[in-house]
Structure 1
Amino acid sequence: MESTQRMEVARYLRAGYKLVGNHSAVAICRWTRSAIRGERLCYKSWYGIQSHRCLQMTPVLNFCDFACKFCWRMHLPGRFKIPNGWRWDEPEDIINGSIIAQRLLLIGFKGNPKVTKERFLEAMFPRHFTISLDGEPLLYPKLPDLIKRINERNFTTFLVTNGSIPMRLKEMLKKDAHPTNLYLSLYGPNKEVFQATADPKIPNAWENVLTSLELLDQFKKSRTVIRLTMVRDLNMVEPEGYASLIKKANPMFVELKGYTWVGESQKRLPITAMPTLDELEKFAEKIQEITGYKIKVKDDKSRVVMLVRDEEAWETNLKMVEEWKQKVSRLDENWKSKVEDFTMEEHGYKLLYY
């Protein structure tokens, strides 16, 4: 990384992130730590995610084109502009480096009395790439190839985007780079609320998001999800506006997730900006009335309410989950026959294809 960029990302290292190459990073989320100990899973288990095998990463550490009010990250100037001549790493190097970084971050669990040998070994061989963590992934120009390579190597891919670069989504469609789950975060029911919430640093951001919403339904091989991060007294308004955009995009699922008062967002928002699960449910009910989407499941710990388009979409999800479980069972037989006691020296840097 450039020297100025390295200074800005130093705080990520202190927070436990591991850098990968020139601009990527991996971090372990609370649900991965919980699951590896045999405790609670992330709500994304709705979609077949095994939390202890989930690799949370970003290919654009500290680069984003929005400065969302609810974001827990610091909004330093270098975050909003990629330096001229920036050198982008190859997808294969990012994938391999991310797997190694994940193993290094989790290797300490090997001696934890709460972690079974089987659960630890499974964690050393992740099956899910969640491309979110930090920044806007669509800024990575080789993202379509990254997604294709991850899919080809038998991972699920969860991509979370703010929809600011529809051109990249079009490239993904052209290259048949369909993530397993495609999340599009929608930060307002209209342009005014969107601008106040997302504080975009690029021109025509709202118009770009509308174009991305129109593209969502073309990702036929993906679970498509619109995510609403709800902030009380900011963007948790006008359910009619959200409903109109949801009907326009026609996603399989809609998730309402309550804002959490953490990190740098505490300097921008009051703690009262956090909605309760009951408030989220009531807001979801209004969207339900207008769109015909139905509230299907909720998670009290993460404060998430999920709506599904129809029963066909839900059955498709269940079928995808079951097919993935069967595939993983077959794939795991390969490495389990080779690894009895995982060590970084023997396996960590070599056994990357499995």
Structure 2
Amino acid sequence: MSVSPMQEAQRLDVARYLRAGYKLVGNHSAVAVCRWTRSALRGERLCYKSWYGIQSHRCLQMTPVLNFCDFACKFCWRMHLPGRFKLPPGWRWDEPEDIINGSIVAQRLLLIGFKGNPKVSRERFLEAMFPRHFTISLDGEPSLYPKLAELVKKVKERNFTAFLVTNGSIPIRLEELVKRDAQPTNLYLSLYGPNKEVFTATADPRIPNAWENVLRSLELLDRFTESRTVLRLTMVKDLNMVDPEGYSKLIKLGNPMFVELKGYTWVGESQKRLPISAMPTIEELEKFAKKLEELTGYKVKVEDDKSRVVMLVRDEDVWERNLKMVEEWRARVAKLDESWRSKVEDFTMEEHGKILYY
């Protein structure tokens, strides 16, 4: 049976994901293990998200929309093939419960090789087999998944934190999260420009009214009273690392708890679109953050030079609330872990599909 050029492009793109170490889940989801999970397993450095209580070796990084995105950002490491925003004929969306279970199994399969690594303690390996954090990001735009609210809700019911990253292109999906009592633990809204012109040049949206939709999503952030709200600025030199006054107006519009400046990294397909000089240094990020500090009243709180991230916080009350959330979560995890620690003496591959509910 012949295939269309679009179907062939999608097949080749999925093959690239598999070569990159992704594990496919169901029809449209995937899991991948990031460098910080591997580092944490070996007892080394953690991801900068430890600021919010994330234990990197217990973080499950996944997407419910592999290869579907409504933006074609210039800094993205992925290929921008035709069809990344089009569903094939006869498409069927998987159920949230199946995605969660499949993701846990996929994570375990990806990490099972660490069991024999002399640098990985048995205790830390077992903790990794029982993840506590679902990061809904990795690839594509999660809000394209129509059952996102149900997915977030079930993730939290299963005793995970839920970190959701969105480009803000579908504000109605954010409204659903609030209306259906499905607020994620952390809601990241990625902002790709200080004004419509720069935003369009950077994000290259494939939908109409993308800028207006992002503004609407910013306005919705204040309704997420149970979430940490984070505005993420991916900074690319000579592209969108401009006009701090414009960014400051958008920060005030969204009123997020935190603002993160994340430096672009010259990797993957983005190397064909941008020069290596587009990567800002940590010093350049600090300088830009200081300008935002002066314009918004937000204060630079912490930074991570390895990941090139600078975080600003709205005020000290917000920071204290964050620390309290971290402390409460750690206490809860310690109690939850007692259940599987008392049952699992030697985690084997045969058991990986048996212990999903905990």
- Fold match by TM threshold 0.5: yes
Match in the other structure for 1:264: 269
Match in the other structure for 2:349: 344
Contact kept in structure 1, 2:135 and 2:162, CA below 8 Å? yes
Distance 2:127 2:217 in 1: 36
Runs of at least 5 residues in structure 2 that lack an aligned partner in the other structure: 1-5
One-letter code aligned to 2:357:
Y
**Which of residues 30, 34, 38 is equivalent to 2:39?**
34
Deviations 1:207-231 (CA, angstroms, capped at 9, x unpaired): 0000000001100000000000000
Deviations 1:311-333 (CA, angstroms, capped at 9, x unpaired): 01000100000000000000000
**Which of residues 144, 147, 150 is equivalent to 1:145?**
150
Contact kept in structure 1, 2:301 and 2:313, CA below 8 Å? yes
How far is 1:80 from its partner? 2.2
One-letter code aligned to 1:221:
E
Distance 2:11 2:78 in 1: 16
Paired residues for 1:180-195 under 5 Å: 180-195=185-200
Distance 1:11 1:272 in 2: 26
**Which of residues 50, 55, 61 is equivalent to 2:66?**
61
If the length of structure 2 is used for normalisation, what is the TM-score?
0.97
Paired residues for 1:205-284 under 5 Å: 205-284=210-289
Contact kept in structure 1, 2:136 and 2:163, CA below 8 Å? yes
Distance 1:222 1:23 in 2: 27
Distance 1:68 1:225 in 2: 20
Contact kept in structure 1, 2:13 and 2:79, CA below 8 Å? no
Deviations 1:97-126 (CA, angstroms, capped at 9, x unpaired): 000000000000000000000000000000
Match in the other structure for 1:81: 86
How far is 1:148 from its partner? 0.1
Distance 2:87 2:176 in 1: 20
Task: Please give the secondary structure, in 1, of the residue aligned with 2:300.
Answer: strand
Distance 2:163 2:174 in 1: 14
Length, aligned pairs only: 352
Please say if 1:123 is aligned against 2:128: yes
Task: Please give the secondary structure, in 1, of the residue aligned with 2:219.
Answer: helix
Paired residues for 1:157-172 under 5 Å: 157-172=162-177
One-letter code aligned to 2:315:
D
Please say if 1:329 is aligned against 2:320: no
Task: Please give the secondary structure, in 1, of the residue aligned with 2:84.
Answer: helix
RMSD: 0.9
Distance 2:228 2:88 in 1: 34
Distance 2:91 2:13 in 1: 16
One-letter code aligned to 1:317:
N
Match in the other structure for 1:106: 111
One-letter code aligned to 1:29:
C
Runs of at least 5 residues in structure 1 that lack an aligned partner in the other structure: none
Distance 1:158 1:131 in 2: 6
Task: Please give the secondary structure, in 2, of the residue aligned with 1:77.
Answer: coil
How far is 1:304 from its partner? 0.2
Task: Please give the secondary structure, in 2, of the residue aligned with 1:251.
Answer: coil
Distance 1:175 1:82 in 2: 26
Distance 1:353 1:344 in 2: 17
Contact kept in structure 1, 2:302 and 2:312, CA below 8 Å? yes
Moved beyond 4 Å, runs of 4+: none
How far is 1:234 from its partner? 0.1
How far is 1:199 from its partner? 0.2
If the length of structure 1 is used for normalisation, what is the TM-score?
0.98
How far is 1:3 from its partner? 5.8
Task: Please give the secondary structure, in 2, of the residue aligned with 1:341.
Answer: coil
Match in the other structure for 1:96: 101
Contact kept in structure 1, 2:174 and 2:217, CA below 8 Å? yes
Match in the other structure for 1:353: 357
Distance 1:136 1:316 in 2: 29
Distance 2:167 2:77 in 1: 16
Deviations 1:40-65 (CA, angstroms, capped at 9, x unpaired): 00000000000000000000000000
Task: Please give the secondary structure, in 2, of the residue aligned with 1:296.
Answer: strand
Distance 1:7 1:21 in 2: 18
**Which of residues 286, 294, 301 is equivalent to 1:289?**
294
Deviations 1:300-352 (CA, angstroms, capped at 9, x unpaired): 0000000000001000100000000000000000000000111120x200100
Task: Please give the secondary structure, in 2, of the residue aligned with 1:217.
Answer: helix
Match in the other structure for 2:3: none
How far is 1:82 from its partner? 2.2
One-letter code aligned to 1:353:
Y
Please say if 1:9 is aligned against 2:14: yes
How far is 1:353 from its partner? 0.6
How far is 1:8 from its partner? 2.6
Match in the other structure for 1:19: 24
Distance 2:222 2:15 in 1: 39
